[in-house]
Amino acid sequence: MPDALPDFTPVTLITGFLGSGKTTLLQRLLLDPRLSDTAVLINEFGEIGLDHYLLERIDETMVMLQSGCVCCTIRGELSMAIKDLHSRRERGLLPPFRRLLIESTGLADPFPILSTVRSDPVLRHHFSLGTVITTVDAVNGARTLDAQPESAKQAAIADRLVLTKTDIATSETADHLTRQLRRINPEAPLWRSAEDDLDAEALLSGEGVERRGSVDCCGDAPDPHDHHASDIATLALSLDGPVDWTRFGVWLTMLLHRHGDALLRVKGILNVADAATPVAVHAVQHLVHPPRHLDAWPDEDRRSRLVFIARGLDPALIERSFRAFSARR
């Protein structure tokens, strides 16, 4: 007998700039038999959608959203399309898919898509946010990150980074881009599409830092001479002693209200006073995921650890503010 459907169907977003290999990645993932029970929703900017033909899988669980960008002009259609999939699944008109993959246009800001799933009055009771997978073209990625703010944002909020076209890029170019990405997003696991085995389970499972249970800020060190995406700064801070949850909540809500657009990412694990196990927090701009109880500490370190990826904000001031507002007296 098949396993029961999960209470909340995880939604994975595949994003990345134009031509960065999103559809190729999706095609590769869908070859995995473990993803046979996956519904796919593709958004293309052009009038004539082509991506679904490239996937060579046309069935009723493959939905196209054309003629507009899912993050702005057709956001309502995204919500309707997911509700329609859910409705047809509930009525037995569709195979009971266990996860939903959304491939956005290369120009899309990922935040409104995540916000739709998290905040829509119907969707939030049936779907949960899974991972955000961002593809970055190893050949052109450095230039794109520098010139296209959407591209830097897509990389900054990624839970998983996939460096594509590494077979046609020089190793120096790929290494340089990796350092550049580490500066924007220091802790997302990174795959090289040509060399690495793209394990669907590792890419899709979990909900970013919450499930991995660690905030690893010690990946490949950023290049000190790298001036790309220079207005995006990463702050990793740790705090001895437990955090007052209420105080932290009031502060983070105030911070996101005023600076949510600039805070591309806030994630971390907190040693919350009166809680036996750590609590993972995860925010993308104005959107805060439900805080999660981790089963156990990932290591011996019991300090609270938080990572902020921000555009145009002073990291030193964020740290001062965090300590002044959230510290326990």
Partner 1 sequence: MCALCGVLGDAEHWTAAVARPGVFTRNIDPASRRRERIKQVAEANRILHHYGMTVADWQGSAFVLSTATGKTEIVDNLVHLWTAAERLLGRPCDPLDADLVLLMERELA
Strands (E), the chain: 9-16, 38-43, 62-65, 99-103, 127-137, 160-164, 190-192, 232-239, 263-270, 279-284, 287-288, 292-293, 304-311
Burial 119-136, CB ≥16 within 10 A → b, else e: ebeebeebbbbbbbbbbb
Among 34, 227, 293, 302, binds partner 1 (CB under 8 A): 293
- Other CB atoms within a 10 A radius of the CB of residue 306 amount to 24
Give the pair of three-digit tokens for residue 117. 């799933």
Query: Minimum distance from CB of 152 to partner 1 (Å)?
Result: 21
Residues 87-126 that bind partner 1 (CB under 8 A): 119, 121, 124
Choosing from 289, 305, 307, 311, the residue that interacts with partner 1 (CB under 8 A) is 289
233 bridge partner residues: 310
Q: According to CB under 8 A, which one of 67, 219, 245, 297 is a site residue for partner 1? A: 245
Interface with partner 1 in residues 198-227 (CB under 8 A): none
Residue with tokens 């990405």: 181
Phi, psi (degrees; rounded to nearest 5) at 281: -120, 150
Crossing angle of helices 171-184 and 149-156, in 10° steps, is 70
272 scored as a contact of partner 1 (CB under 8 A): yes
Please pick, from the candidates 170, 254, 261, 312, the single residue that binds partner 1 as defined by CB under 8 A.
254
Determine, following the binding rule CB under 8 A, whether residue 329 of this chain makes contact with partner 1.
yes
| Segment lying near partner 1 (by CB under 8 A), choices 18-26, 61-69, 191-199, 272-280 | 272-280
| Closest approach of partner 1 to the CB of residue 231, in Å | 16
**Identity of the residue, 24 or 205, whose beta carbon is nearer to partner 1 in the bound complex:** 205
Cα-flanking dihedrals φ and ψ of residue 70, to 5°?
A: -65, -20
**Rounded to the nearest whole angstrom, what is the least distance from the CB of residue 309 to partner 1 in the complex?**
15
**Binder to partner 1 among 216, 291, 298, 303 (CB under 8 A)?**
291
Contact 162, 189 (CB under 8 A): no
Of positions 46, 96, 241, 290, contacts partner 1 by CB under 8 A: 290
Read off φ and ψ for residue 166, nearest 5 degrees: -70, -15
Q: Which is nearer to partner 1, 238 or 253 (CB)?
A: 253
Q: Is 157 in the site for partner 1 (CB under 8 A)?
A: no
- Report the alpha-carbon distance of residue 319 to residue 306 in Å, rounded: 10
Q: Which of 28, 83, 259, 303 binds partner 1 (CB under 8 A)?
A: 259
317 binds partner 1 (CB under 8 A): yes
Residue number, 33 or 121, with CB nearest to partner 1: 121
Partnered with residue 137 across adjacent β-strands are 164
Output the smallest distance, CB 200 to partner 1, in A: 22
Q: What is the closest distance, in whole angstroms, from the C-beta atom of residue 250 to partner 1 in the complex?
A: 5
Q: By CB under 8 A, how many residues form the interface with partner 1?
A: 37
- Tell me the longest C-alpha to C-alpha distance in the chain: 61
What's the CA gap between 182 and 207, in Å, rounded? Answer: 20
Q: Does 250 bind partner 1 (CB under 8 A)?
A: yes
In the complex, the residues that contact partner 1 under the rule CB under 8 A are 7, 119, 121, 124, 245-247, 249-251, 253-259, 272, 275, 279, 288-293, 313-314, 317-318, 320-321, 323-325, 327, 329
